[in-house]
Structure 1
């Protein structure tokens, strides 16, 4: 019964999103422009499945504990590992690493904070801005990919990446502020 409940279309889509990550990274790191085109197409499809799996889960009542756990992990793996590969292959400048480090810091810190607070029976709900944060991060990565094909996109990729970094930091601050009473022992 549990296995069937976990083998839902949204969960399969989420696992498929995770499975695309090594393929995307490998294609990107070949250094071949044709492979980069394929990588950005796969990445864009994988990024789109973030919305699709959630829609299907809600629409057809296929929300599951496994899906609630896997979906944010899939997002963080997709963003974090692809940003790391883009840094490794030289797609990011030294200055670009500032928002990238902010993104990676927040993407590790907030789940750790949630886990800690979960042990204390405190839930930090995902904000609407945090959902937009993920979307803007995914768009930034697509534009960075495309910049490797169309260098004229340099300014656009920088602006979107820094916007993603700023929103990521802001949502991290919001979560930290909301959790502070529980961390400081001042909760009522």
Structure 2
């Protein structure tokens, strides 16, 4: 096994995947959300850097080729699990997440079945775009939790009438309630839109992989 910088970055991303969930076991919110966002965004950035450096330095290895998609899938699957676990189980969130998880399991099963001929299912540009979109959507959804909990901390001890008066502009907004609430609402909407778009690209790329695998499944 060759331990060059691209492979080390990929390995760190793989290790970071379960740590996203661990953040919610050992830290209270919103700190867990903040740490999860930082960890997830940092890991997502390494996804671009490890591939770029491997190509630029001519350090593409079998180890990196194996670990890279595993790290990507682990990041996405674990992060979606955490987001759904701390959500209200809205079908608008559960459905795209289910589509993404189903595709990842399905394509992984195809690759395992094809064995030595799995090279026919090389990562396409569309698959790279869907992974990028998945990670952006997840990062935005994690940020929603940060806004929500800072809003909740800001209104601690206030009665509902006071909160309504501040949000309507009748009382001065000394604690930034308006922008915290707006941040939570927009992060939720944008994150959900991006997740549905990512789910669409995910299914399209899954169908593309299946079409390429069909000749090897006959008989």
Deviation of residue 169 (structure 1)?
0.6
Task: Provide the secondary structure at the position in 2 that maps to 1:63.
Answer: coil
Say if 2:160 is the partner of 1:164. Answer: no
Q: Deviations over 1:74-115 (max 9, x none)?
A: 000010011111111227523211110111111111122122
Distance 2:6 2:214 in 1: 34
Please report the TM-score for the alignment, with normalisation by the length of structure 1. 0.89
Tell me how many residue pairs correspond in the alignment.
181
Deviation of residue 46 (structure 1)?
0.3
Distance 1:168 1:78 in 2: 15
Comparing 115-124 with 32-41, greater Cα deviation is found at 115-124
Task: Provide the secondary structure at the position in 1 that maps to 2:91.
Answer: coil
Unaligned runs of 5+ in 1: none
Partner of 2:156: none
Cα RMSD, aligned residues only: 1.7
Comparing 175-184 with 76-85, greater Cα deviation is found at 175-184
Distance 1:28 1:106 in 2: 26
Deviation of residue 23 (structure 1)?
2.1
Larger radius of gyration: 2
Task: Provide the secondary structure at the position in 2 that maps to 1:148.
Answer: helix
Which residue of 67, 71, 76 maps to 1:74?
A: 71
Deviation of residue 149 (structure 1)?
2.1
Which residue of 7, 15, 27 maps to 1:19?
A: 15
Alignment of 1:114-125 (within 5 A): 114-120=111-117, 123-125=120-122
Judge conservation of contact 2:120–2:212 (CA < 8 Å) in 1.
no
Which residue of 28, 35, 39 maps to 1:38?
A: 35
Q: Deviations over 1:38-58 (max 9, x none)?
A: 210111010110110111111
Unaligned runs of 5+ in 2: 148-183
Which residue of 84, 93, 97 maps to 1:96?
A: 93
